[in-house]
Amino acid sequence: MKASSMQLLKSTSITWKDSSPQSLLVSTALALAVLCPLAASAEEKSKLAASGPAKLAAASAATKPIATVSNSGGMPLYVPIVLDLRLLRKSVSLYEREPDNQLAFYGAARYFLGVRDYANAEKLAKAALRAHPQWASPNFVMAKVVDAQFEDLQCIEYYKLALKASPHWLDASIACADKLNACEKYAESVAISTAALKFCESQPKDAGLTIYMSNLRYCTAHALYNLKDFRGAAKVLEVNSPHYLDSVRLKFLADCYIHCQEWSKALAISNQLVQRFPSDYSYRLQRAQVYAGLNQPQKAIADLSQCLQLKKYTIKNTGIGALAVLEEREVRLLRASMYDKIGQKDLAKKDRAAVKDATDRSYKETVFRTAQ
């Protein structure tokens, strides 16, 4: 990674607020788009860096036609992520000078969202909707504003309005599908993400679009998984190049294989993850589940015992006692079942007793904290 890119990431922060782990994962992957070099020359890039996000998008149109496929809402296919709030701040004054420039509005609104000034973001978006009801981006911004207020259903409606104005705007498609997943509206999420993917397939590919398509596939797979279509979820993720499957998505794919009882595929991924992250207990737990499915209790017990060493389940006044109990429960109950298979009934009984003891202790601590 270039030094300039590293400095950019260190000096800035992600601009969007997300309310779910899935959203955070999507936002993190999208941020990689910033590191993908534009087709412009070095001289052109230096000029773009000093000219603000609106001109950045305009210049990208000349060098990356795929990023600026316009539609009825006036938004490009996707808008490059801008992590530097100083660049976005320039869009505020630019939009004041050019009130008919939707990309300038979008940059200004992203600045207010980035600094968590939701009041000004909402004021700006509502004014833009009055002046330009055909624009897609004000509805997108309003979705972010109400999302910060935990108004999930209203957030979804705003995303749908943005997509109605710009049906092929990938930022809106991903955000809407992700929020639908968070609200357990999985069938709707599949419909939106697959429609976006179908359109993307007809477009010339570049690095940015490939990342967006990867995120859309993950949204689709997440929805299919929750609809119990594990084979379908795995099939969607298998299309991705391994380069675009980070450890979280690889673990998710392995989980799909476990549900499909495709043990050899699940084991291959689990071995890879354990080798890459030997100190992360969650990958060993998943591999233990695979060994259990393969009827290899000794290997499962070894991994489960290592889990308990890596993850200290000592429950103190940390506020996460309940979570720790749930994790310990899963590990110990699986190990107890493996002990049963090899005839070590006493060790199985000890694990089950430890689960009960930890559960009781956590309950008492929770009651004590509540009483305080």
Q: What is the pLDDT of residues 197-221, one digit of tens each?
A: 999 999 998 888 988 999 999 999 9
Q: What is the per-residue pLDDT for 132?
A: 95
First to last CA, the chain: 50
The most confident of the ranges 13-22, 83-92, 242-251, 252-261 is: 252-261
Residues 6+ apart with CB under 8 A from 261: 293
Structure tokens at 336: 């107890």
For residue range 258-294, list pLDDT tens digits in order.
Answer: 999 999 999 999 999 999 998 888 899 999 999 999 9
Mean of the pLDDT values across residues 333-352?
94
Do the domains 262-371 and 3-256 match in fold?
yes
CB 325 within 8 A of CB 362: yes
Q: pTM of the entire structure? A: 0.73
Percent of residues, the chain, with pLDDT higher than 70: 71
Task: Name the average pLDDT for the chain.
Answer: 79
b (16+ CB within 10 A) / e for 181-215 = bbeebbebbbebbbbbbeebeeeeeeebbbbbbbb
In the predicted structure, residue 78 carries a pLDDT above the cut 50 = yes
pLDDT grade for 54, boundaries at 50, 70 and 90:
very low
Which has the higher per-residue pLDDT, 228 or 329? Answer: 228
CB 100 within 8 A of CB 78: no
Q: DSSP E strands: which ranges in 166-251? A: none
Q: What is the per-residue pLDDT for 360?
A: 67
List Cα–Cα distances, 148 to 119, 145, 151, in angstroms: 11, 5, 8
In the predicted structure, residue 196 carries a pLDDT above the cut 50 = yes
pLDDT grade for 194, boundaries at 50, 70 and 90:
very high
Q: What is the per-residue pLDDT for 73?
A: 63
Mean of the pLDDT values across residues 232-261?
89
Burial class (CB in 10 A: 0-12, 13-18, 19+), 11: exposed
Domain 3-256 sits in CATH at: 1.25.40.10
Looking at domain 262-371, does it have CATH number 1.25.40.10?
yes
In the predicted structure, residue 64 carries a pLDDT above the cut 80 = no
* Dist. CA 138–CA 124, nearest whole Å: 8
pLDDT grade for 40, boundaries at 50, 70 and 90:
very low
In the predicted structure, residue 238 carries a pLDDT above the cut 60 = yes
Name the residue ranges covered by the structural domains of the chain.
Answer: 3-256, 262-371
Written as one string, the DSSP assignment of 351-365 is HHHHHHHHHHHHHHH
Q: What is the per-residue pLDDT for 279?
A: 85
Percent of residues, the chain, with pLDDT higher than 90: 59
Q: What is the per-residue pLDDT for 275?
A: 94
Q: Determine the distance from the C-alpha atom of residue 33 to the mean position of all C-alpha atoms in its chain, rounded to a whole number.
A: 14
